[in-house]
Structure 1
């Protein structure tokens, strides 16, 4: 009985109206919150002494700063340089935005006097502090993850058949018959560092040096997939002929005919 791969549970897809509401609702909520926050941040800038049109820069400073710091904090990997600073900056920006709304509404409703030194001083420090932190984030490099190195293939040991002794001449006279040639010792087993060499080595047994297309077809048949020409000639063929240098002197075989699977 064949083995069946177990099915992994999948999360059912959300209904189309839920996906539509999520996709369209995010930009709508973002625009609405920005518009609702701008008057309070504008009034706080006016309280601190900025005149028009400079007071309109306060909403953009706080809102853009909060968004940039939040994106940087979310996109940088854990432990990367600048991630903690971006996270702290995002939290600080949210606190500033919240404080600006609370102060503006308290002043407008008469619960607070806007002409206070500490309020003016803190508000005046917001633009240069935002600029300094954004420049710090821009100057902090984002680390790039190096691709994982491909594990080296395990060596493969191939036992070659002993070379056949030359045939004796037929019906040689008994007087001139020589003693039988001693049996040749079995050659030592060849250990290939690249296991794909074992699929290509039998092609040399035909007495010719196999072509690149023939070696590629043998690799595909053996289940190694499609291998590039430079790897076939510069790695696999080179290792085979390094172990058996006489194979490099064999006459070249004819390339595979067009239309065959390369």
Structure 2
């Protein structure tokens, strides 16, 4: 089963003052915007006929409504129930907040008469409409996240049992060699080497191969001659051995040997 690698969120980029302005600036801008929007929304509520302290509820209802609808629209996945309604509600809350500011400033500057039936009617519908939509969003179930798919383990097919190997018949010992039929090995002629170290290397030729430098060096070490250079091993010791027995130079090289 493959292990999922943990995901690490990269650190925010930019200098510290940019990160500070981003983290601390957003709540500051939000607070300043709400404070600046409150007088206009308050005056529109007064134009519609609300008296104090009830007129102060208009800024809070519009601001809370816009925030709740925006959060619902952003947190619900695409296609979930209530997401489209929350998006429309957030847009409507922004439109109402903008209209309240425009109407309040037009009235304050004398460009508009606040005593108009349509303005009073629209403003009067805001609180019950906001309440109805928030109750609708609260009653809409939030979809639960789907569980992650379980890792699928692939079971190996059971291998058929291996049949036991048949018992082998006991091997008979080889017959004793017939000493009369065997040719006696030719005795190696007694050779007196100029370099006594040749005596430690000469038995390596008995395997039917021409020994390499590494094997001859090890034989010299085992015989207590110490470490001997490559040029001495090949140019002096092996050359003298093959000088006395030229046929040894024609043997095939040992497998894996060093020249």
TM-score (norm 2): 0.58
Give 3-state SS (helix, strand or coil) of 1:157's partner. Answer: coil
Counterpart position of 1:90: 90
Shift of 1:155: 3.1
Shift of 1:148: 2.8
Q: Distance in 2 between matches of 1:42 and 1:60?
A: 10
Counterpart position of 2:250: none
Give 3-state SS (helix, strand or coil) of 1:156's partner. Answer: coil
Is 1:152 the counterpart of 2:146? The answer is no
Q: Distance in 2 between matches of 1:132 and 1:11?
A: 42
- Does the aligned pair in 1 maintain the 2:38–2:59 contact within 8 Å? yes
Shift of 1:82: 0.3
Give 3-state SS (helix, strand or coil) of 2:144's partner. Answer: coil
Counterpart position of 2:44: 44
Shift of 1:151: 4.2
Give 3-state SS (helix, strand or coil) of 1:56's partner. Answer: helix
Is 1:123 the counterpart of 2:123? The answer is yes
Q: Distance in 1 between matches of 2:128 and 2:93?
A: 13
Q: Distance in 2 between matches of 1:103 and 1:12?
A: 42
Counterpart position of 1:223: none
Q: Distance in 2 between matches of 1:161 and 1:45?
A: 88
Shift of 1:159: 2.9
Q: Give ranges in structure 2 of 5+ residues lacking alignment.
A: 1-9, 171-259
Counterpart position of 1:103: 103
- Does the aligned pair in 1 maintain the 2:12–2:19 contact within 8 Å? no
Cα RMSD between the aligned structures? 2.3
Alignment of 1:22-33 (within 5 A): 22-33=22-33
Counterpart position of 1:79: 79
> How many residue pairs end up in the alignment?
161
Give per-residue Cα distances to partners, 1:41-90, cap 9 Å, x unaligned: 00000000000000000000001100110111011001100000000000
Q: Distance in 2 between matches of 1:16 and 1:128?
A: 45
Shift of 1:161: 4.8
Give 3-state SS (helix, strand or coil) of 2:43's partner. Answer: helix
